[in-house]
Amino acid sequence: MKKLVFTLTLFLAALTGRAQENVTFRITDGIANDGLKTRIERNVSSLLSEINRACSAKRDLQLIGFGITENASHSLSLLWNNLHFSCEDQQIYERCYTTVNGYQFRNIPIHIEPVIEGYDGELERELTISISKEGDITGARMAMASHVYTNIIKQGDAVDMARREEILKFVEDFRSHYDEKDIQALNQVFSDEALIITGSVIMKRDYSGDQPQMRPEIVYRTQNKQEYLSRLAKTFRNNKYIKVTFDDPEVVRSKKNPNFFGVTLHQHWKSDNYEDDGYVFLLWEFHENGEPPIIHVRTWQPDRMGGAPTPKDKIINILDFEIPAKKRS
């Protein structure tokens, strides 16, 4: 009898653990098609439940048996190599947001369980899940801070609100490519003729006054796409983890060509052997035919010069580049 009771206890414990791993995802608003709604709920529930099971068992993700694209599975598996996480809520209710290419869910709470020593980031984060128009999962990313999202969205008017939401998604994806060390994804997002500019501060002797003085000055180094990606791949190999965060976003649409947007962000980069803060500028081109947008220019410059904050008029922006006029159709 004691043996039977002990066996039943273990069985019930296993059932309880499995119940805690299962997540039920429900859409509160945003989709009228009941069939599509049911398909999305099933796919997201399956993804979050598998994340919990893999985290509990300390194993790799098994992203099969439900609707998820190959690219989404690849990116999520890369992220999993550096960070495990779990969804502690067994029932999640979220509003569905419509995007240019499908749908998106934000604010899904997760708890980080690092697998690499030295991680000192936040343990409570949020997940953003992107969905195709057919209901398949196309991406699952660590969400940017809510105030960053709000700042990007509120900088637009009603005419280009959808475009700004698209910008937010791709900026969020772009940041995640560094966390995931995904050179393949970065190769796709940069134009083949992309210009990469990196600024650094040097102290230069100034003879304009009565007494020569050392003054800070930013000098810039340019790289092409292949040079940049080659150096970046080496950085990825030499670091166990990389964490990139963005803040203080500013989005400016080109007056000469409405398909071009300049996005300026304050970036914090942290890896196991290096850390810095600076301003990143990205010149995005969005296509009207539905093709993914591409980056023509990426710049980085330090956020301080000689111990003082970099002046706002020294921060690179869209006005520093010649934007091609929109082609007539």
Query: Cα(222)–Cα(297) distance, rounded to whole angstroms?
Result: 11
Looking at residue 12, its pLDDT comes to 42
pLDDT given at position 14:
44
Q: What is the pLDDT of residue 164?
A: 76
pLDDT of residue 157: 55
241 contact partners, CB below 8 Å, separation of at least 6: 82, 83, 116, 118, 119, 271, 272
> pTM for the whole thing?
0.79
Q: Is the CB of residue 235 less than 8 Å from the CB of residue 216?
A: no
The pLDDT, as a whole number, for residue 305 is 76
Q: Which residues on neighbouring strands pair with residue 129, listed in sequence order?
A: 105, 140
Tokens of 267: 């970036």
How many residues does this entry show for the chain? Answer: 329
The answer to whether the CB of 163 falls within 8 A of the CB of 156 is yes
Residues of the chain with pLDDT under 70: 1-19, 146-160, 200-217, 328-329
CB 171 within 8 A of CB 250: no
**pLDDT reported for residue 288:** 78
Which pLDDT belongs to residue 146?
A: 66
